[in-house]
Amino acid sequence: MSILTTPRRLYTPSLYLAVTPLFRPNRSYSSPPPTIPSRTPDGKLTWDKYFTLRRKRKNMERGFLIPTSLLSIGGSVAYAATRPVDPTPIFGQDPIVMGSIGILCCGVAGVLIGPIIGSSVWKLLHREDVKLMEERDREFYQHIKRNRADPSLFSLRNPAPDYYGEKIKSVQEYRTWLRKQRECIRKGTFHIGEDT
């Protein structure tokens, strides 16, 4: 074997493909894809970023529902298991029934506390966006209050379409919500679809 020839075992296509681009002088490098800014020039969050953070916050709040309810039920069961059983009626009911109701109430309390804890954890993880989110929340709810249909226009044939705007997850869904509100106003004002 001569010095000028490459041995077969050292020449692999994957090595050739990995090394070849480094030696091409006329290769054109494209610029990185443009990034969408997360803040407007005046320092506010963009609406797309706001809806993304809002969705993450709701998911965090929902994520804490089950663990907090299970912890509160587990804690109440552990407490009830250490107490001696007293046959005296509580509020005229059997102690086992009242203990079960107490355990269920602890579970409901855990469900109610879960979103509060989830929101607090989200605020700790997104400290730089909390003030901006609060500003956008106020602005968003002002939009909702200003553009939603009057409740007096609702009927069985003309129900309220997402009165509080809780299902809005993007700018496109907000526009759809606006169209539905205008349709509800039109139907309620002109009594479209109602029998006279």
Co-location of 116 and 155 in the same domain: no
Residue 75 lies inside a defined structural domain of this protein: yes
Alpha carbon distance 68, 74 (integer Å): 10
Mean pLDDT of 85-109: 87
State the pLDDT at residue 17: 46
* 44 and 99 together in one domain: yes
Domain count, the chain: 2
| 107 contacts: CB under 8 Å, gap ≥ 6 | 69, 72, 73, 76
Within a domain: 180: yes
- N- to C-terminal Cα distance for the chain? 101
Residue 111: inside a domain, yes or no?
yes
Note the pLDDT of residue 35: 58
Give the least confident one: 46-50, 92-96, 154-158: 154-158
- For position 193, what pLDDT does the model report? 58
Residue 33 covered by a domain: no
Burial (CB count <10 Å: 0-12, 13-18, 19+), residue 80 = middle
Phi-psi region of 170 (alpha: psi -120 to 50; beta: other; left: phi over 0): beta
pLDDT for residue 16? 46
Check if the beta carbon of residue 39 is closer than 8 Å to that of residue 47.
Answer: no
Which residue, 128, 158, 187, sits at the end of a domain?
128
More confident residue, 5 or 91: 91
Indicate whether 115 and 54 sit together in one domain: yes
Comparison of pLDDT for 10 and 102, the residue scoring more: 102
Give the CA count within 13 Å in the CB-facing half-sphere of 73: 14
Alpha-carbon 129 to chain mean position: 15
Which of 81, 99, 128 finishes a domain? 128
Q: What is the CA radius of gyration of the chain?
A: 30
Range of the domain at 177: 148-196
44 with 124, same domain: the answer is yes
Contacts of 128 (CB under 8 A, 6+ apart): none
Over residues 55-88, the pLDDT tens digits come to 999 999 999 999 999 999 999 999 988 888 778 8
User: Of the residues 68, 96, 128, which one is the last residue of a structural domain?
Assistant: 128
Give residue-wise pLDDT tens across range 117-137: 999 999 999 999 999 999 999
Alpha carbon distances (Å) from 74 to 98, 107, 148: 17, 9, 43
Q: Considering the chain, what is the average pLDDT of its residues? A: 81
- Would you say residue 118 lies in a domain? yes
Of 34-38, 49-53, 81-85, the least confident: 34-38
Q: Tell me what pLDDT residue 50 has.
A: 92
Residue 6 falls inside a structural domain: no
Residue 59 lies in a domain: yes
User: Over 90: is that where the pLDDT of 40 sits?
Assistant: no
109 and 80 in a common domain: yes
User: What is the average pLDDT across 41-45?
Assistant: 75
User: What's the DSSP call for residue 156?
Assistant: S
